Each structure stands twice: as C-alpha cells, then as structure tokens.
Amino acid sequence: MRVTVDTEKCIAAGACVMEAMEVFDQRDEDGVVILLSERPDASQHEAVRRAVGACPAKAIAVTE
C-alpha cells in the first residue's frame, strides 16, 4: 500500500489522525495533514482505509 495526501485539499478536520495516528498527523500551525508513513505496515492498512473514508475533503489517496 502506498499513501499520498493532497495538502491543498486538506481542511484540517483531523479525521485521518483519529483513524490512523501512526500514519497521519497534523501541523501545529494550521492543522493540515502530515503523512508520517507513505508505505505503512500491513497492520495499519485497515486503519488507513478507514481514514480515507473518513476524510471529508477526500485529500487522501491509496494505491495497492
């Protein structure tokens, strides 16, 4: 799995962090997403998929 984020689309809702805090974080100054792991461990794949579904801005993409 490869994860990408579009920081221009991100509205700083934080849903991704709530679903997969090992993969996503937020910048302190504006809350925009920070991708911590472009290729998360297999144990994180389900959480990442939940984060993709939870993102209101559709700013996260996953390729398998």
Domain boundaries, the chain: 2-63
Q: pTM score > 0.85 for this model?
A: yes
Q: What is the dihedral of CA 35, 30, 21, 11, to 10 degrees?
A: -80
What is the domain class of 2-63 according to CATH? alpha beta
Q: What is the dihedral of CA 19, 23, 24, 28, to 10 degrees?
A: 130
Model pLDDT for residues 39-62, shown as the tens digit of each residue: 999 999 999 999 999 999 999 999
pLDDT of residue 40: 98
| Closest CA relative to residue 54, chosen from 17, 1, 2, 7 | 17
SS3 17: helix
CA-based torsion, 22, 36, 54, 17: positive or negative? positive
